[in-house]
Every structure is written in C-alpha cells, then in structure tokens.
Structure 1
Amino acid sequence: MAADPAPVLLRGIDRAAFAVAFVARLRRAGLNAGITETDDLVRAFEVSPPTSRDTLYWTARVALVRRQADLTVFDRVFAAVFDDAAPLPLTRSSGPAPRRDEGVNVTVPAGGDEVVAGGGLPWATLPPPIAADDTLDDSGLRVPELRPSALAALADHPFEDLDAHQTEALADALRAALTRWPQRRTRRHAPDPSGRRVALRPTIARARRTGWEAVSVVRERPLRRPRRVVLLCDVSESMRAQATAYLHLMRAFTLVADAEVFAFATGLTRLTSALRHTSAHEAIEQASLAVTDRFTGTRIARNITALLDSHHGNTLRGGIVLLASDGWDSDPPDRMAAAMARLRRRAYRILWLNPRAGAPGFAPRVGGMAAALPFCDHLLPAATFADLASAATHLQSLSAHRR
C-alpha cells in the first residue's frame, strides 16, 4: 500500500493570497519588494511547497530579500507574523530555531531532524564590510562606502579639504558620469535606409538583377567618430592643491575615450600610458613619479609651443583641447598670444579650466590668462569636483557646429 504523502504546511490556504498579504506587510515595514518578488515567492511555493517553518522562512527569504540591509526588516516581520500565531502543523519535530545573527553561514537541513555536516543548502550572507567595533551600535549596518548623497555633499568641497579616499570616490563618480562623447563627421559613409545620399555602387549592383532598372535605391549616411581630446594639466607650485584632482579628471577622460594627456610645469610630460592603469591609486602614483618638475615654475607658452612642434602635435588637429591652469605664466604675454594663436588654428575647440574662475569678482587680469582668453572658446571654473563634473557635461554637449 502506498505511503501517505507528507503533510504540507499551509494546506488548504491560498498560497498566492498569502504571498501577496505577506509582501504587503513587508512593504509597509520598509522592505523594497514588488510584483517581481511576489511572483517569485508564488512560483517557489508551487515548485517546493513548504513542509516546515524553517523551509517557509528560507523560501520566502530567498525569493524576497535582495539586499543585506533588508534582512533585519524581514526577520522582524516574519517573527511578528508567526511567533504570536497558533502552532503550525509541522511535518516533523523541530527544536528551537537558531539565531540567525550569530554567524555568517547558516545551514538548512537537507532532510530529517538532524543537520548533517556539509549537507543541506549553505546560505551565506555577506560578511561585515569592516572589522567589528564594540563602540558601534549593532542595530545598523556599517558600510564604509560613501553614499550618493555624501558624494554630492563632498563634491562642493575644495580639493584641499578632501582626503585621498574621498578624492578617489569622487573621481570614480566622475568617470561613471562620462557616458557621451563629442563626435565628428567623417568622409566615410555607411548604408542606412534613412540616409539622404544615394549609394551609387550598391544601387547599380542591385539594378543588374532587374534589367538595369533601379527598382530599389540604396541610401547611405556619413559615419561619425569620437572626436580626439587633448588635455594639458598644470602641475606647478601654484596648482599644488588642484593637481591631484585634475589628474583624476585626466584619467577619467583617458579611460572613457581616446584622449591624450600631458602635464607641464617648466617642461612637458606625456602621461597617457601612466593614467591608463586600472588602479586609480597606481595611476596617480605613476603619473606623479613621471613628472620630474612637479611643483616648480610655470612655462605655459613654451610648453604649448613644444607640443605643437613635437610629433604629438598632429593629435591636436580637429580635436578638443582642455587646458587646466590658473594662468600664472613666467613667459611674456606676447609669447602666450602667439602660442595660443597657433593652437587656435589647429584645434577644433579650446576649453580653459581655471580654479579661480568661479570666485566672486574674478577677472582675467593676469598677463598670461588675459593674453590666452581671446583664443579660448570657454573659460570654466574648476575649484571643486562639482565644477569638474559641470565641465565634463559641457564637453559632452559640444555641438558639431562651431560658434
């Protein structure tokens, strides 16, 4: 004679209605669960009907909990629903439920009353992100990473008020914000049904099949390519507070697009290969070691002329030049004007980032800055990471037509 099937928990209860009611209570308690999680719980009940309170707990937890921060809310609501209720018709005897906050790994029995070593489903929660501290309150989750609101608040702080960790976090957020890039129209074309130009060769090739009658016309459009960007960063003594943050900005452009990066003080140093390192700390460290004249004098006009005369000068042709400096220059203003005039004829756009441009009452009265300003398309402030993000957004929104 066939054995009686094992009794199932919640027999005779509409499991879909139970799942909807349970999720609604979790949502009122603050757990972020929606229609997708509710559907996952109903399907889990269909695949594996709960046979005990523990199996019900883990089925609901796997289906509904997506974040470690929601475990406290889930445990509290689950206890409120089932602790004060009448005893459930469990299929097998079960001892007191273990505390789920004692360890990191909890083992669910595979079957029977005893827990077999190494058996069952290992449920591993994430370990605490930092070492335990007795002075901290255990009721909250200790997360060392900065939240978006904290990053937004730090973005308005001057560079000299930020430590290395905060600077790297803001630099990562700045790199993540670089989603679009200025493009240029090339001389090549690609087939496109919405194109305005008729592709003669493909059209004639198709006409050979229809008695040389152009029954179907192939159209094409011009291809667009990312525009080259060249960045020049001033690392002289007057830019000591901004140099590290500007190098992080240059690294973001190097990783996102095919940008060329140069640092200058009294001489010119190419940093493109150094800033392409996957680690931000290593990239800035290698870039700092590569610049031998860091925190010395400033020769802006001489370095711009040296770049134009070098074999890298062709990268400026049709590209966007981003020059980050306060404008203090040891070269005479007429030499700055001559260098900027050459750069203006070769580059597509010139953007100048000045850390003092956002100060109230700022006026470009310094000789070098006053001589270079007529050849710049835009003068942008760059005293905080919020200013750098605005400059990056402005760079991404450059139109294809020159103003």
Structure 2
Amino acid sequence: MAPADSAPVLLRGIDRAAFAVALVARLRRAGLRCGITETDDLVRALRVSPPVGRHALYWTARITLVRSQADLAVFDEVFAAVFDDTAPLPLSRSALPPGRRDDGVHVKVPAGGDGTTAGGGLPWATLPPAVAAAEDDEDSGLRVPELRPSALAALAGRPFEELDETEIRALGAGLQAALLRWPQRRTRRHATDPAGRRVALRPTIARARRTGWEAITVVRQKPIREPRRVVLLCDVSESMRAQTTAYLTMMRAFALVTDAEVFAFATTLTRLTPVLRHASPEEAVDQASAAVTDRFGGTRIASNLKAVLDSHHGNALRGGVVIIASDGWDGDPPERMAAVMARLRRRAYRIIWLNPRAGTPGWTPGVAAMAAALPYCDRLMPAATFADISACVEAISSRA
C-alpha cells in the first residue's frame, strides 16, 4: 500500500503565500472585495488541507475569499479564467525549472473535477439547485433556504412598499427568530430552587418534622419569570395602505412567538390574534385582510384605544408592553387622545409608538393626535422597514 504522503497534491512544491497573493491580486483587479485577512485565511487553509484537485482548490478558495453573495459571480469568472484558460500566475522562483526563473509558469490543473452530487452539503453562499415544480417532493428532507443572511439583511433595509409578498414572508420569519429573545418579567409566584434566596417556610418546616423539629434541610425558592405581555395595535387605514401587509406579517410574528394580543384598527377595532396564528402565513394574512372590513378608510385611534381598555382584553395591558403602529392621523379630537393615553399609561409597563414617517429626515410630530400622545409614550421609533422593527424589538429586550 502506498504511503499517505504519496497522494497527489495539486500545488505540491509551490509557495502557498505567493499563490494566494497572486490569486487575490487577480480577484481584486476584477472587483472582488478581499484583502489581507482573506489572503491569510486562504494560506492557512491550504496548509491545513492541501488541495488534491481543482474541485477542492475551488471550494477552499471560495470559502476563504468570498464574503458576499454579490462577489460570487466575480470569483467564478476569475477562477475559471485562471484555471480553465491556464492563465499565468507568478509562483515561487524555487519551483521553476532552470532556465525559466524569469518566466511565468502555468499551474497544471485537470480539466475535470470531483463533481458535486445532488443533495451534498454545500457552503452557505451556494444557491439551491433549480428543481422543476413537478419534481418537488414534500418528503425529500430539509430544504436549502432561497435567501441567505446577507440577502435578508439587504431586504430588511428596504421600504415596505418595495417588497413583494415572498420577501415580506421571508423577513417575517426572520423577525420570529429575533422575538425568541423576548424579555421576561418577575411574577409574584415562587418555585422551589436550590439557588433561590428566599426560604420556603412550609416545606422547610415539613422536613423538620422528620429530624426532631431541627431544620436540617432548608428549602429555598425564587420568583417565577414569565415572558412579558405584549399588546400590538396596528393602523390599517388609507394612509397606512403601503404598510398594511408588512404590519400584518409583523403582528403574526408577535402572535406566534410572544403569545401577544394583536389588534387592527381603522374606524373600528378588530381582534386578529386567533386568525394570525394560522399555520400558513399566506392563509393567515388573507384571513386577517378579510376580517378587517373597514381597512383603507378613516382612522379613530383614540376610540379604538378606549375600546381595548374597556374590553376584557384590557387586563392584558397590565404590566405589559403596548406597541402602537400608526402614522398618528386621527379623526378623534386630540383632547380625547390625551385622556385615553393617560389612562393607558397608568396600566401599561411601557408604550412604544411606531410611526413609518418618523425616519424621514426633518420629520416632526406635527399631527395633533401624535403630538397629544407623545408625552405618554416611552419611545417613538420609525417603522418603515423590517430593520426598524428589529431595532424596536432589540430596544425593548435590552431595557425590559
């Protein structure tokens, strides 16, 4: 049996650092964004795992040098030009035969590669293979997501009106992951825990009966912590038409993850909590749109807030986080808005107002209803993109 050292290595005898620098220089001239850190990563990777073929060298260079999906096309083009067309790369002088010390050499690479089998593991930046709709199988196993983190981050900064339904659903799924870190609150109930700081008298006395009333074993307990309640009210009037679908997706994420109470309002109030917990996101949004019969009409913010306070759902406001998503245009007088917000302030733990116009440069809360409600809000935050909503979630989590 041949020793392991005799296995063929593609770049045997070649200076790895010179090869990496030359390849990175070619990529940079083509427009790919890579520098010293990526070059060092490639050199280390070639030392740890020497490539045995063109396919292995391709993935080693791609994983270490490509940081963005946008750079993938440039990398593939340059790699093909270098290794398919045998373009010269300056390597180590010691690797050159006598008489060719001053000439460039070609890296001899086999034309064929290892190939990639269907279903094999691929790096994060790889697009999923195109499969016809007729070939889709529900039992085929895990699916590769169509959008990678870099693509989702780019979409999160775009306004709602520029997103299609597929992109909104993908961003809504990302918002659900962010809500898994929802803050908790300390309740008045306690549970037995050896790390607790409070002595549980009854269990301690019960155990002392077995030891002649000597408290040999001290039972401790600590408060039970539960996710903080959240009530979400979203404006679906005519002035909020561009944000309606995105806000419904946002409400669904809150309803699924944080066990929230969610409402939509225009001229009347509509509870959407059971509807938006549907397993299918498309069906949930469609049913919610059908349930809100007065959408894209006028707005009565103060009346709808009072309706929540007067209903049996008003108990969910006690000690909870109230999130109001609206641009502040209201048909009710500002005096009524101030009275309702003062009442809400006494009951809620925190009030966050999301305004899609707040992120506009030079914007000021000049609308009467918005100006009347602002003194009772803990924070006024923009909500024109999913990045704004994620920032709101992070702000609540860091302070609760």
TM over 0.5: yes
Partner amino acid for 1:187?
Answer: R
Partner amino acid for 1:276?
Answer: R
Deviations 1:74-113 (A, max 9, x none): xx9xxxxxxxxxxxxxxxxxxxxxx778x9869xxxxxxx
Does residue 156 (structure 1) correspond to residue 157 (structure 2)? The answer is yes
Q: How do 1:107-256 residues align onto structure 2 when only pairs under 5 Å count? A: 129=128, 131=130, 145-256=146-257
Q: Residue in 1 aligned with 2:309?
A: 308
Work out whether residues 358 and 381 of structure 2, in 8 Å CA contact, stay in contact via their aligned partners in 1. yes
Partner amino acid for 1:288?
Answer: S
Distance in structure 1 (CA, Å) of the matches to 2:332 and 2:206: 62
Work out whether residues 265 and 297 of structure 1, in 8 Å CA contact, stay in contact via their aligned partners in 2. yes
Deviations 1:218-265 (A, max 9, x none): 221111111211100000010111111122211111111110110001
Q: Residue in 2 aligned with 1:283?
A: 284
Label 1:132 to 1:256 Cα distance change in 2 as closer, same or farther (>3 A).
closer
Label 1:290 to 1:9 Cα distance change in 2 as closer, same or farther (>3 A).
farther
Partner amino acid for 1:229?
Answer: V
Q: How do 1:269-348 residues align onto structure 2 when only pairs under 5 Å count? A: 269-348=270-349
Partner amino acid for 2:354?
Answer: L
1:362 positional shift: 2.0
Label 1:8 to 1:228 Cα distance change in 2 as closer, same or farther (>3 A).
same
Partner SS for 2:328:
coil
Does residue 350 (structure 1) correspond to residue 370 (structure 2)? The answer is no
| Percent identity of equivalent pairs | 65
Q: Residue in 1 aligned with 2:262?
A: 261
1:269 positional shift: 0.9
1:132 positional shift: 7.9
Label 1:162 to 1:218 Cα distance change in 2 as closer, same or farther (>3 A).
same
Distance in structure 2 (CA, Å) of the matches to 1:218 and 1:124: 51
1:318 positional shift: 2.1
Deviations 1:359-394 (A, max 9, x none): 222221211111111221111111111111100111
Distance in structure 2 (CA, Å) of the matches to 1:387 and 1:124: 34
Partner amino acid for 2:289?
Answer: S
Distance in structure 1 (CA, Å) of the matches to 2:356 and 2:347: 26
Q: Residue in 2 aligned with 1:393?
A: 394
Partner amino acid for 1:159?
Answer: F
Work out whether residues 128 and 146 of structure 2, in 8 Å CA contact, stay in contact via their aligned partners in 1. no
Label 1:221 to 1:152 Cα distance change in 2 as closer, same or farther (>3 A).
same
Distance in structure 2 (CA, Å) of the matches to 1:276 and 1:321: 19
Partner amino acid for 2:241?
Answer: R
Moved more, 385-394 or 335-344: 335-344
Larger Rg: 1
In structure 1, stretches of 5+ residues that fail to align are 1-6, 14-26, 34-38, 42-55, 77-98, 107-121, 134-142
Work out whether residues 323 and 351 of structure 1, in 8 Å CA contact, stay in contact via their aligned partners in 2. yes
Distance in structure 2 (CA, Å) of the matches to 1:125 and 1:344: 52
Pairs aligned (count): 335
Distance in structure 1 (CA, Å) of the matches to 2:322 and 2:120: 54
Distance in structure 2 (CA, Å) of the matches to 1:198 and 1:132: 62
Moved more, 297-306 or 188-197: 188-197
Partner amino acid for 1:384?
Answer: T
Partner amino acid for 1:301?
Answer: A
Distance in structure 2 (CA, Å) of the matches to 1:347 and 1:10: 70
1:273 positional shift: 1.4
Partner SS for 1:295:
coil
Work out whether residues 228 and 318 of structure 1, in 8 Å CA contact, stay in contact via their aligned partners in 2. yes
Q: How do 1:33-52 residues align onto structure 2 when only pairs under 5 Å count? A: none
Label 1:341 to 1:100 Cα distance change in 2 as closer, same or farther (>3 A).
same
Distance in structure 2 (CA, Å) of the matches to 1:354 and 1:211: 66
Deviations 1:137-173 (A, max 9, x none): xxxxxx8822222222222221112222222222222
Distance in structure 1 (CA, Å) of the matches to 2:178 and 2:184: 17
Work out whether residues 206 and 216 of structure 1, in 8 Å CA contact, stay in contact via their aligned partners in 2. yes
1:11 positional shift: 11
Label 1:123 to 1:386 Cα distance change in 2 as closer, same or farther (>3 A).
closer
Deviations 1:265-324 (A, max 9, x none): 111111111211222222222211211111111111111111222222222222211100
1:398 positional shift: 2.9
Distance in structure 2 (CA, Å) of the matches to 1:196 and 1:105: 58
Partner amino acid for 2:208?
Answer: A
Q: How do 1:62-141 residues align onto structure 2 when only pairs under 5 Å count? A: 129=128, 131=130
Work out whether residues 321 and 349 of structure 2, in 8 Å CA contact, stay in contact via their aligned partners in 1. yes
1:334 positional shift: 1.1
Work out whether residues 160 and 242 of structure 2, in 8 Å CA contact, stay in contact via their aligned partners in 1. yes
1:182 positional shift: 2.4
Deviations 1:207-227 (A, max 9, x none): 122211112322211111112
Partner SS for 1:283:
helix
In structure 2, stretches of 5+ residues that fail to align are 8-19, 24-37, 43-47, 67-75, 84-111, 133-143
Deviations 1:29-67 (A, max 9, x none): 99x99xxxxx9x9xxxxxxxxxxxxxx99xx9xxx9xx9
Deviations 1:324-383 (A, max 9, x none): 000000111111112212222222211110111122222212111111112211111111
Partner amino acid for 1:169?
Answer: A
